[in-house]
Structure 1
Amino acid sequence: MAGMDLSQVAERLAARRPASGTYVVGVTGAVAAGKSVFAQSLAEHLAADGERVELVCTDGFLLPNARLAELELTNQKGFPPSYDHAALRAALEGVRQGPTIFPGYSHVTYDVDPALARTLDPPDVLVIEGLNLVPTHGPSLIDTLVYLDAEEAHLEAWYVDRFLGLWEAAEHDPASFYARFRGMSRPEVEGLARMVWQKVNLKNLRDHIAPARAQADLVVRKGPDHAIVAVEARG
């Protein structure tokens, strides 16, 4: 996403900013939509204007893998029941008032990692990216919600590429979640990634993630190379 022009997005965000207090911007969209890279680029863009910006992820609010196994939710990781909704709401409320702990998540071990937790003072802007940003109970604690939109075929291709990249990186990292797949051939791993996409991530997208598009304040449309092709304001 290097060289991506975020000025139009930043302008739309500025127009929706509250008069005072921490401005909470949510970035959501499908698995593999590029939320992390987009949110990082957005945070850097806003910080370049002198804002004190913090970036966090909802992955830290997933239930630990052991707890998901106890609840028989391992195959629904990323679905709404797999999150600690109360903890996420408490953190978003707390960070507007004082130092607040945001838990961390490792995409290498594929689990919540206490060592990655961070304590944040109230920033000028908090960018939070990930799933589970549309509340099921109570009012939203997000001031502006950005939805990253892309064709399902592009999303699947991005997911498979990411899966293969993590599988390749696991060759020299036995602690990686993806190390368990190192005994498989590349075509077998690609087939596994496509199966996971079709049976898990696509279902989550259609049933739980895509509905957030209608509730988003901004919809950022991405092309096959992740470049922004359109920005649509809602409401």
Structure 2
Amino acid sequence: MERKDNFTPYIKHDRAEWAELRSSTPMTVTEEDLKELKGLNEVLNLDEVEDIYLPLSRLLYLHAKASRELYESRNEFLKSNVKKVPYVIGIAGSVAVGKSTFARVLQTLISRWPSSPKVELLTTDGFLYPNAVLKDRGLMNKKGFPESYNIGKLLHVLTELKSGVQEVAAPVYSHITYDIVPGEMQRIESPDILIVEGINVLQPPKVSEGNQVNQLAVSDFFDFSLYVDAAERNIFHWYVERFKILKDTAFRHKDSYFRKYAGVEDEEAFEIAKDIWDRINKVNLYENILPTRYRADLILYKGDNHHVDHIMVRKI
């Protein structure tokens, strides 16, 4: 008889096992594509795409295909002709773990499926409250925490898309000014697939006093969710290395919120980044982000150098 502690909601695959699941999925990205897609200080090569992203693309294709078939069956059963709403994929994980690059590569691969679906990418940075609001509420040192987001606005956008609204608008965030861009909007028009990426997208619904749930969760709109995971020591290292690159690049921009850190020596940059990490990002990771990991349908665990070590897929 199998021991109970051997049971888990997930099926674990090491890198080699996962790579074999690619089957005949074709390689549709090039080295030139990767140069455009990868983020700062990330190791991303065609081997990683072949071993990790292509099997994942195949799995997502099977899920989206099953969703399409269910949609057609329901229309037949209901004797209706309701337009199919977007298939939504959520991506969560810590600051500096590589979610943005992961989302961009996934967007590229999905858009090159045989059916050539229209794929849109929505990041939750645009739903942060403007800095003026955060300052007024005393939340500037909690930027990225759940309370720093206008979740109501994000829920409204997702509700519209899942209701069949043809075009929606979402706010745009600037990583240069570290703030919402006034008057600028991202237009999302009838996507087949929508990827929603953000550190807190797997947060459960808010609970008011008396334990009454008073709103939906962002993840209620997801058809498939992923969590990009790594050891905290690695995430911290990647965060510091990225900070060192930014101090000599983006921080030098005349409109940069972090211009005061431009060009500081590496040793000072390390201390500044460590302080920000310890006071804000590390706290947010352990209090808010990491506890949502097991709400995901699939978890990718990164080892050193951003290479995925193993994958866990929720049983169905």
Tell me the TM-score normalized by structure 2.
Answer: 0.71
CA contact (8 A) 2:107 2:120 kept: yes
2:133 to 67, 71, 90: 67
| Partners of 1:220 and 1:22 in 2: CA distance | 24
Are 2:12 and 1:12 equivalent residues in the alignment? no
CA contact (8 A) 2:247 2:264 kept: no
CA contact (8 A) 1:33 1:148 kept: yes
| Partners of 2:297 and 2:60 in 1: CA distance | 9
| Partners of 1:150 and 1:111 in 2: CA distance | 27
- Identity over aligned residues, as a percent? 34
Are 2:250 and 1:199 equivalent residues in the alignment? no
Instruction: Name the SS of the counterpart of 1:33 in structure 2.
Output: coil
| Partners of 1:142 and 1:152 in 2: CA distance | 26
| Partners of 1:118 and 1:222 in 2: CA distance | 31
Structure with greater Cα Rg: 2
Q: What residue is the counterpart of 1:48 in the other structure? A: 112
Q: What residue is the counterpart of 1:26 in the other structure? A: 90
| Partners of 1:32 and 1:116 in 2: CA distance | 25
> Unaligned stretches of 5+ in structure 2?
1-43, 72-84, 206-214
Cα deviation for residue 115 of structure 1 reads 5.2
CA 1:115/1:48 → structure 2, altered by over 3 Å: closer, same or farther? farther
Q: CA RMSD in A?
A: 1.6
Aligned amino acid, residue 91 of structure 2? V
Cα offsets for 1:141-165 (capped at 9, x unmatched) = 1111100011111100111111111
Query: How many residue pairs end up in the alignment?
Result: 235
Q: With a CA cutoff of 8 Å and minimum separation of 6, indicate the structure with the bigger relative contact order.
A: 1
Q: What residue is the counterpart of 2:227 in the other structure? A: 147
1:138 to 202, 209, 216: 216
Deviates more, 1:150-159 or 1:91-100: 91-100
CA 1:199/1:171 → structure 2, altered by over 3 Å: closer, same or farther? closer
Instruction: Name the SS of the counterpart of 1:145 in structure 2.
Output: strand
**Residues 161-200 of structure 1 mapped to structure 2, 5 A cutoff:** 161-170=241-250, 172-182=252-262, 184-200=264-280
Are 2:35 and 1:35 equivalent residues in the alignment? no
4+ residue runs over 6 A deviation: none
Deviates more, 1:202-211 or 1:163-172: 163-172
Cα deviation for residue 220 of structure 1 reads 0.9
